[in-house]
C-alpha cells in the first residue's frame, strides 16, 4: 500500500459536502486563487496552444474558467473563446479582464454538473484542478456534456493534479501553506481511503489579519478510471501525457515515443493519438487515422514532488 490514511477513519472530521464548490470562490479564497493562477497563466497558455493544436479562428470552450485568465488569453491568441463558470463574481472579473485586454470573449454562468449549451466548439479545455471536484456520477455526466459540445474531430484537453498515480505516490502532506496576492492559505488535508477522496480545510489570512475559512474536496481517480470515464463519455482516442510533453507531433508515430522527456503515453483503442485532428490539418499517423474523426481527449498527468500537498491549481 503506497498511501497511508491520515488518522483513523473514526477520527476524521465530518465529511465535506459534495457541493462544497458552490460559493467557495469569493472573498479571500477568490483573491488568493486569482493571484496564484496569474503566476502560471502565460506558461500554461503556451502549453495549452500546443495541446489543442487548433488554427486561429477555431472555437474553444474553457470550463470551468474561473476568473477567465485562460479564456482571455485564448481570445488574444485568435480563438473564439467562451468561458463557463459557476462563480458569477469571478465571471465579472473575467469580463473586466477581457475588456482591459481589448479582446472579445464570451462568459456564461454554468455548472459542471449540467453544462449549458453554448453551441458546438472545436476544442474544450478543462485546466487547473477542477477534475475531481464532482462525485464520480456527476463527473461522468460532465464529460459526456463536454463530448457533446465538440464537433467531430474536436479535442478535449484535460489537466489534473489529483490522478492517483501522481498524487498518492509520495503521500498526502497533512498540512501545506502558500502565499499569493498578500493572502496566506493554510490547508489541513486528510484522505478518506474508502471513497478515494482528499479533503482539505482552508484558512485564508490577509495582511490586515482578516481570516476566512473554507473547505474543499477532490475525488482521486486512477489513470485507468480516468480513461474509462472518458471512453464512457464517448471519447475514442485518449493520450496520457505528463508536464514535460510539449509538441503534439512528438507524442507518437505508429505507437512509438519520440520524446525522451515523456513519462507516460498511451492511446486507447489502439489508434494513433493524432487521428482526431485530421480535419484540422494534422498529418494522420496511419491509414486508419484518415477515416477517424471522433473527438479525442488528452489527459495531462503531472507528477508532483515526493511530498504531495493540497493541489494548488484552480480554474
pLDDT in tens, 161-188: 888 988 888 789 999 999 999 999 999 9
Least confident of 17-31, 96-110, 192-206, 275-289: 275-289
* Residue 32 in this model has a pLDDT that exceeds 80: yes
Residue 214 backbone dihedrals phi, psi, to 5 degrees:
-155, 170
Task: For residues 109-128, give the mean pLDDT.
Answer: 96
What pLDDT is attached to residue 313? 52
* Residue 211 in this model has a pLDDT that exceeds 90: yes
Cβ 132 vs Cβ 199: under 8 Å: no
3 state DSSP class of 307: coil
Q: What count of other Cβ atoms lies within 10 Å of the Cβ of residue 252? A: 20
What pLDDT is attached to residue 192? 94
What pLDDT is attached to residue 108? 98
Q: Which CATH architecture has domain 1-315?
A: 3-Layer(aba) Sandwich (3.40)
Domain segments of the chain as ranges? 1-315
> Quick one: pLDDT band at residue 144, thresholds 50, 70, 90?
very high
Cβ 273 vs Cβ 237: under 8 Å: yes
Separation CA 278–CA 293 (nearest Å): 7
Task: For residues 229-246, give the mean pLDDT.
Answer: 81
What pLDDT is attached to residue 250? 33
What pLDDT is attached to residue 11? 67
Cβ 59 vs Cβ 82: under 8 Å: yes
* Averaged confidence pLDDT in the chain: 80
Amino acid at each position: 500500500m503506497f498511501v497511508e490514511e491520515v488518522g483513523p477513519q473514526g477520527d476524521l472530521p465530518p465529511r465535506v459536502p459534495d457541493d462544497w464548490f458552490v460559493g467557495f470562490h469569493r472573498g479571500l479564497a477568490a483573491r488568493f486563487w486569482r493571484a496564484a493562477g496569474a503566476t502560471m497563466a502565460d506558461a500554461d497558455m503556451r502549453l495549452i496552444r500546443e495541446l489543442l493544436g487548433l488554427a486561429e479562428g477555431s472555437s474553444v470552450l474553457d470550463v470551468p474558467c474561473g476568473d477567465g485568465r485562460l479564456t482571455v488569453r485564448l481570445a488574444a491568441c485568435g480563438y473564439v473563446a467562451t468561458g463557463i463558470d459557476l462563480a458569477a463574481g469571478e465571471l465579472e472579473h473575467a469580463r473586466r479582464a477581457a475588456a482591459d485586454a481589448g479582446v472579445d470573449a464570451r462568459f456564461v454562468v454554468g455548472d459542471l454538473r449540467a453544462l449549458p449549451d453554448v453551441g458546438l466548439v472545436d476544442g474544450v479545455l478543462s485546466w487547473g484542478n477542477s477534475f475531481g471536484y464532482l462525485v464520480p456520477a456527476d463527473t461522468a455526466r460532465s464529460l459526456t456534456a463536454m463530448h457533446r459540445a465538440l464537433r467531430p474531430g474536436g479535442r478535449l484537453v484535460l489537466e489534473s493534479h489529483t490522478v492517483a498515480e501522481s498524487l498518492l505516490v509520495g503521500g498526502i502532506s497533512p498540512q501545506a501553506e502558500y502565499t499569493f496576492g498578500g493572502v496566506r492559505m493554510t490547508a489541513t488535508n486528510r484522505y478518506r481511503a474508502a471513497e478515494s477522496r482528499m479533503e482539505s480545510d482552508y484558512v485564508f489570512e490577509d495582511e490586515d489579519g482578516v481570516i476566512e475559512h473554507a473547505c474543499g474536496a477532490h475525488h482521486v481517480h486512477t489513470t485507468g478510471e480516468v480513461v474509462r470515464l472518458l471512453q464512457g463519455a464517448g471519447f475514442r482516442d485518449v493520450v496520457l501525457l505528463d508536464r514535460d510533453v510539449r509538441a503534439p507531433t512528438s507524442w507518437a508515430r505508429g505507437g512509438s515515443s519520440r520524446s525522451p522527456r515523456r513519462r507516460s503515453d498511451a492511446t486507447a483503442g489502439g489508434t494513433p493519438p493524432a487521428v482526431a485532428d485530421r480535419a484540422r490539418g494534422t498529418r494522420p499517423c496511419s491509414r486508419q487515422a484518415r477515416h477517424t474523426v471522433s473527438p479525442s481527449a488528452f489527459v495531462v498527468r503531472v507528477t508532483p514532488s515526493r511530498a504531495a500537498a493540497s493541489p494548488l491549481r484552480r480554474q
